Amino acid sequence: MATLEFFSTFTEQLTKKLTFPLPGESAHQVMQASSRLRLTFKPNARTRKSAILILFYPHKNEIYFPLILRPAYDGVHSGQVAFPGGRYELTDKDLVQTALREAQEEIGLRLNDVKILGCLTELFIPASNFYVLPVIAAMPYRPDYYPDPREVEEIFEIKLEDISDSDIIGSSDIQVRGEQVHAPHYMVQGYKIWGATAMMISELLTVLNAPGAEPEN
């Protein structure tokens, strides 16, 4: 059972592991959907930068992080489960600030006690032509949420222990802009987590399960 002391140990170990060489594509491929677009569409001059926030916190003697359900809209990520985040703005100092600003705007996260632990591997998303940087952070208590209804349909509090259960992994055919895509997914709280979000979770879990090796010079 997690205690505040355990949570502190967890964040210290994760911070250290994020300084090691990251698994990147090898972890992403485990949860990568089959798509002709992914094979043919490459980064170009119009590719934009974005960032998401993976925020860990203790709650009810467990470790949690939030995911959001995007509202239905005329866009590629309509109705999908995702991490809070969005595109880089010129007023952002860097992509870490992008992730924090977007989390503040989308779920009302108060940033006072948020501590940045590190980042995962930047991931290219062909469907929206974005590079997205997963930023990992922690806070020592459960945050209050104030979702922006224009961008967030629902907030899910995901228990780390539950997302680590291999029994929740499945796959299914999904229609994306007229293309049938076969996608691995995590089934959580009645929703399928697939695509880039699932690929980021796969890398996160690979990092968490890695032995405590020494970082490369």
pLDDT tens figures, 101-122: 999 999 999 999 999 999 999 9
For the segment 44-93, what is each residue's pLDDT rounded down to a tens digit?
889 999 999 999 999 989 999 999 999 875 554 457 899 999 999 999 99
- Maximum Cα interatomic distance, the chain, rounded to a whole number of Å: 49
Statement: residue 217 has pLDDT above 90: no
104 CB burial (10 A radius; 0-12, 13-18, 19+): middle
Residue 42 lies in a domain: yes
Q: Do residues 81 and 192 lie in contact, with contact meaning Cβ atoms separated by under 8 Å?
A: yes
- CA separation, residue 101 to residues 89, 114, 125, 137 (Å): 10, 12, 21, 13
Whether residue 21 is contained in a domain is answered as: yes
Q: Is residue 89 part of a domain?
A: yes
Q: Name which of 33, 28, 53, 25 is nearest 185 in CA terms.
A: 33
The residues near 84 (Cβ < 8 Å, ≥ 6 apart) are: 52, 53, 66, 68, 102, 103, 106, 107, 109, 152
Closest CA to 194 of 87, 103, 106, 77: 77
1: confidence class by pLDDT, cuts 50, 70, 90: very low
Q: Please, what is the average pLDDT of the chain? A: 90
Residue 191 maps to a domain: yes
- Which one-letter DSSP state was computed for residue 34? B
pLDDT digits (tens, 9 = 90+) for 185-215: 999 999 999 999 999 999 999 999 998 644 4
Provide the β-strand partners of residue 86.
Answer: 51
Q: Spell out the residues 6+ positions from residue 88 whose beta carbon is closer than 8 angstroms to its own.
A: 48, 49, 50, 51, 95, 98
Residue 196 belongs to a domain: yes
Indicate whether 213 belongs to any domain.
Answer: no
Comparing 18-22, 173-177, 210-214, which segment has the lowest mean pLDDT?
210-214
The residue with greater pLDDT, 9 or 36, is 9
> Could you tell me the residue range of the domain that residue 121 belongs to?
4-208
With 0-12 / 13-18 / 19 or more C-beta atoms within 10 angstroms meaning exposed / middle / buried, residue 98 is: buried
Helix (H, G, I), strand (E, B) or coil at 15: helix
| pLDDT above 50: residue 2 | no
Query: What percent helix, strand, coil does the chain show, rounded to 5?
Result: 30, 30, 40
Residue type, 21: P
Of 7 and 127, more confident: 7
Does residue 30 lie within any of the structural domains? Answer: yes
CATH, residue 88: 3.90.79.10
Hey, is 53 helix, strand or coil?
strand
- Domain membership flag for residue 217: no
Total domain count, the chain: 1
- As separate numbers, helices (DSSP H) first and strands (DSSP E) second, the chain gives 6, 11
Q: What is the pTM of this model?
A: 0.91
Q: Is the pLDDT of residue 95 over 50?
A: yes
One-letter amino acid identity for 4?
L
16 vs 125: CA distance, rounded Å: 27
